[in-house]
């Protein structure tokens, strides 16, 4: 059985929340949206593992808007769910609503993305990837790959959603790594909002403004895949004329990597559901949980993608 999902903001309806008779835990989850292959896999992981754990899931899709997430969280508080989890679309601006949850004594778990709140008592734990490290690994690969290339090496960057933790952190990690050699130069950087359509559009503009792009660094596979369409439409060969580095390693990205259109991917696992449900149960039982749970991940070259693809889960 599928768990009911609600479009847009707010309440997915139905149950009265905790205290309604049976003892299954009620979890209110506010998702970022459905912007990427990563997000789709993440939503599926959360829905399936809630079902497996016997946790009643209330799910709301915020369509990449913070105001929708705040509304959803307020709804969950009003419904008196047992635990709230959410993936904050941007890092800042959460203190007020988190304080409301705390006052209502509803524990909050941050999933996938962090908040920049100075008060870490506003949430129980944060489970997700080390985005700085993903950016760093991407930059380190480039520095090594282009070790003997003459400079300047001109890079364009497709950033994720402005103000989001993965956009801020991946940019930072990549920038730190390429600072190893001044020949690396980011000549243009703009948000592609983590979507394929926007990645394509921004890459078209980059290609019009610059005829000497050596490298594309995209903060996720989807933007990279959109950019590949723009590169091909401009008569260039992705992966050869322009070296492409992305992050996520979802199936479509891995396929493009195996096909030689992408050159390197740093993995970011969306399969957070099982660990999240464990944390929900622990927090609900009043157990102490670690403040930070980091996801394990790896990186892929083209050869490694060919090997991994047949058994890839997402
Ligand atoms: O990389 C991107 C998605 O927050 C890690 O969000 C997540 C990012 C992921 O849209 O594809």
Selection from 83, 82, 84 nearest residue 72 by Cα: 84
Query: What pLDDT is recorded for position 287?
Result: 96
Residues in the chain: 314
Ligand 1: atom nearest CA of 165 is 4
Ligand 1 pocket test, pick from 87, 268, 270, 276 with the greatest ligand atom count within 8 Å of Cβ, gives 268
Q: With a cut of 80, say whether residue 63 has pLDDT above it.
A: yes
pLDDT tier, 23 (very low <50, low <70, confident <90, very high otherwise): confident
Residues 186-204: tens digit of each pLDDT? 999 999 999 999 999 999 9
Q: What's the pLDDT at 22?
A: 67
Computed over every residue of the chain, the mean pLDDT equals 94
- pLDDT band with cut points at 50, 70 and 90 for residue 10: very low
Say if residue 19's pLDDT is above 90. no
Q: Which of 4-18, 155-169, 261-275, 289-303 has the lowest mean pLDDT?
A: 4-18
**CA proximity to 206, closest of 191, 225, 194, 222:** 191
pLDDT for residue 4: 42
With the most atoms of ligand 1 within 8 angstroms of its CB, the residue from 160, 199, 266 to mutate is 160
Q: Which residues line ligand 1 (CB under 6 A)?
A: 35-36, 38-39, 112-113, 166, 194, 220, 222, 247-248, 268
Residue nearest to atom 8 of ligand 1 (CA): 166
Q: Tell me the C-alpha to C-alpha distance, in Å, between residue 4 and each of 44, 113, 262.
A: 12, 24, 36
Q: Is 102 exposed, middle or buried (0-12, 13-18, 19+ CB in 10 A)?
A: middle
Q: Is the dihedral of CA 78, 82, 88, 91 positive or negative?
A: positive
Tokens of 112: 């996938």
**CA of 35, closest atom in ligand 1:** 10
Atom of ligand 1 at shortest range from CA of 194: 10
283: nearest Cα among 140, 125, 144, 173: 125
Alpha-carbon separation of residue 32 from 25, 109, 254, 291 (angstroms): 22, 14, 23, 22
pLDDT tens, position by position, 121-143: 999 999 999 999 999 999 999 99
Residues 6+ apart with CB under 8 A from 71: 9, 10
| Residue whose CB lies within 8 A of the most ligand 1 atoms, among 31, 39, 163, for a mutation test | 39
pLDDT of residue 1: 36
Please tell me the distance from the alpha carbon of residue 167 to that of residue 212, in angstroms, as a whole number: 25
Q: What is the position in ligand 1's atom list of the atom closest to the CA of 112?
A: 4
**Assigned token pair, 207:** 């290609």
Distance 113 CA to ligand 1 centre (A): 9
Mean pLDDT of 223-229: 98
User: Does 37 have pLDDT greater than 80?
Assistant: yes
Q: Which domains does the chain carry?
A: 26-129+270-296 (3.40.50.2300), 131-267 (3.40.50.2300)
Confidence of residue 94 (pLDDT cuts 50, 70, 90): very high
Mean pLDDT of the region 158-177:
98
Which of 22-31, 73-82, 223-232, 247-256 has the least mean pLDDT? Answer: 22-31
The yes-or-no verdict on residue 147 having pLDDT over 70 is yes
Task: Kindly state the average pLDDT of the residues 256-282.
Answer: 97
Average pLDDT rounded to a whole number, residues 17-27: 69
pLDDT greater than 50 at residue 49: yes
Residue 121 CA to ligand 1 center (angstroms) comes to 25
């Amino acid at each position: 059985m599928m768990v009911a999902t609600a479009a847009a903001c707010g309440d997915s309806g139905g149950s009265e929340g905790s205290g309604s008779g049976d003892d299954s835990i009620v979890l209110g989850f506010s998702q970022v949206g459905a912007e990427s292959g990563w997000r789709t896999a993440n939503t599926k992981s959360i829905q399936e593992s809630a079902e497996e754990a016997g946790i009643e899931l209330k799910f709301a899709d915020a369509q990449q808007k913070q105001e929708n997430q705040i509304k959803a969280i307020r709804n969950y508080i009003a419904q008196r769910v047992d635990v709230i989890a959410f993936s904050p679309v941007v890092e800042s601006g959460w203190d007020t609503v988190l304080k409301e949850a705390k006052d209502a004594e509803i524990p909050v778990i941050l999933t996938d993305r962090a908040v920049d709140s100075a008060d870490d008592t506003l949430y129980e734990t944060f489970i997700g990837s080390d985005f700085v490290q993903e950016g760093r690994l991407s930059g380190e690969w480039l520095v090594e790959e282009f070790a003997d290339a003459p400079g300047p090496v001109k890079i364009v960057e497709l950033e994720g959603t402005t103000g989001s933790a993965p956009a801020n952190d991946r940019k930072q990690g990549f920038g730190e790594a390429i600072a190893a050699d001044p020949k690396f130069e980011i000549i243009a950087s703009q948000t592609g909002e983590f979507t394929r359509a926007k990645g394509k559009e921004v890459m078209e503009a980059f290609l019009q403004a610059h005829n000497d792009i050596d490298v594309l660094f995209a903060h996720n596979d989807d933007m990279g895949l959109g950019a590949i369409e723009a590169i091909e439409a401009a008569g260039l060969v992705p992966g050869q004329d322009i070296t492409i580095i992305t992050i996520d390693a979802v199936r479509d990205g891995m396929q493009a990597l195996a096909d030689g259109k992408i050159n390197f991917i740093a993995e970011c696992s969306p399969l957070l559901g099982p660990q999240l449900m464990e944390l929900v149960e622990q927090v609900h039982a009043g157990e102490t949980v670690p403040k930070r749970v980091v996801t394990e991940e790896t990186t892929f070259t083209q050869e490694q993608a060919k090997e991994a693809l047949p058994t890839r889960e997402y």
